[in-house]
């Protein structure tokens, strides 16, 4: 029988939200234990250049920034560990968590910062250039700046795809929007906005066959019309995927209130969930902003809320 570990503050997940929570919790003598999860550093590790996080005038790579945040948390003796949470039980006053299906932890407070994962088309060529940082992105606000005065392609038909296409249109020479069916899923107002934008070309009934490139960077996109079966190539230096995000929250669904798409519902203006002593930070609850800086801000909120909760229990 393995021994049960008891901790004051357990942080699940290791992006900007988790590490910021760890920094605040450690400085408040809460002795936080943080499990990094299946993608240490979170979504930011797929971003080559981060230029919009305050305090880095020359920009920084996503992975490097996560290494620095981890080091900052460890400076205050936050216990950062490999491994991921595979099961939870929040039914009683003690919050129980299992790591890698074996180790059992009982935590007085828990901060969920498991984030969300961008959905991709799953093409080999898309994944190749995504991993290289060679022109595939799931965040126009993060990466659009690098494609100023260039031609880009964006895939998606919902509100966020329209929003990202419109955002890109302000800096890119041309934006080609690929809509898989004959109609948008977006609200009428968002659809009208992209239709009225001169440098956005909309191709309906069009799917992506392959992301083209020279092995290092994207040079175009091969598309197929589902009505005529005709294929053609669109020259582009950037390929943006805007087909949604999946919050990494499935293991909490029996205890924590989620919205219809799986995002954790927090008490407005706080990091509190429906379970006392369990808090949420970052993209696991945020489907609107999804930025490193907003995630870090909510990580701070969660640590402060957890600290106040612990004080109230004494």
Which residues sit opposite 79 in a β-bridge? 33
Euclidean distance between CA atoms 168 and 199, whole angstroms = 10
Which residue in the list 58, 124, 142, 300 is annotated as catalytic?
A: 142
Q: Which tokens in the block code for residue 1?
A: 């029988």
Asked whether the beta carbons of 170 and 147 are under 8 A apart, the reply is no
Euclidean distance between CA atoms 44 and 196, whole angstroms = 33
Whether 300 is a known active-site residue: answer: no
List CB contacts of 147: < 8 A, sequence separation 6 or more.
168, 171, 172, 237, 238
Which residue in the list 9, 143, 162, 305 is annotated as catalytic?
A: 143
Whether 172 is a known active-site residue: answer: no
Euclidean distance between CA atoms 250 and 259, whole angstroms = 12
- Write the DSSP symbol of residue 266: P
Whether 82 is a known active-site residue: answer: no
Which residue in the list 58, 82, 124, 139 is annotated as catalytic?
A: 139
Euclidean distance between CA atoms 139 and 291, whole angstroms = 9
Q: Name the residues annotated as catalytic.
A: 139, 142-143
């Amino acid at each position: 029988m393995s021994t049960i570990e008891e901790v004051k503050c357990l942080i699940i997940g290791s992006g900007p939200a988790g590490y910021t929570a760890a920094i605040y919790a450690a400085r408040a003598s809460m002795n936080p234990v943080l499990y990094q999860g299946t993608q240490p550093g979170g979504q930011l590790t797929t971003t080559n250049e981060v230029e919009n996080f305050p305090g880095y005038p020359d920009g920084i790579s996503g992975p490097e920034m996560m290494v620095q945040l981890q080091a900052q948390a460890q400076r205050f003796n936050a216990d950062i560990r490999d491994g991921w949470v595979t099961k939870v039980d929040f039914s009683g006053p003690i919050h129980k968590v299992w790591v890698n299906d074996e180790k059992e932890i009982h935590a007085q407070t828990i901060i969920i910062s498991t984030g969300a994962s961008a959905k991709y088309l799953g093409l080999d060529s898309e994944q190749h250039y995504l991993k290289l940082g060679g022109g595939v992105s799931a965040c126009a606000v993060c990466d659009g700046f690098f494609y100023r005065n260039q031609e880009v392609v964006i895939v998606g038909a919902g509100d966020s795809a329209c929003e990202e296409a419109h955002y890109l249109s302000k800096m890119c020479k041309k934006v080609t929007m690929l809509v898989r069916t004959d109609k948008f899923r977006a609200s009428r107002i968002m659809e009208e906005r992209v239709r009225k934008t001169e440098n956005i070309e909309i191709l309906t009934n069009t799917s992506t066959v392959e992301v083209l490139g020279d092995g290092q960077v994207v040079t175009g996109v091969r598309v197929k019309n589902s009505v005529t079966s005709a294929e053609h190539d669109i020259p582009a230096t950037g390929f943006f995927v805007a087909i949604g995000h999946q919050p990494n929250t499935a293991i909490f669904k029996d205890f924590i209130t989620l919205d219809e798409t799986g995002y954790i519902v927090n008490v407005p203006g706080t990091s509190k969930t429906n379970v006392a002593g369990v808090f949420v930070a970052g993209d696991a609850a945020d489907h609107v902003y999804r930025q490193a800086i907003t995630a870090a801000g909510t990580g701070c909120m969660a640590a402060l809320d957890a600290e106040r909760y612990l004080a109230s229990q004494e």
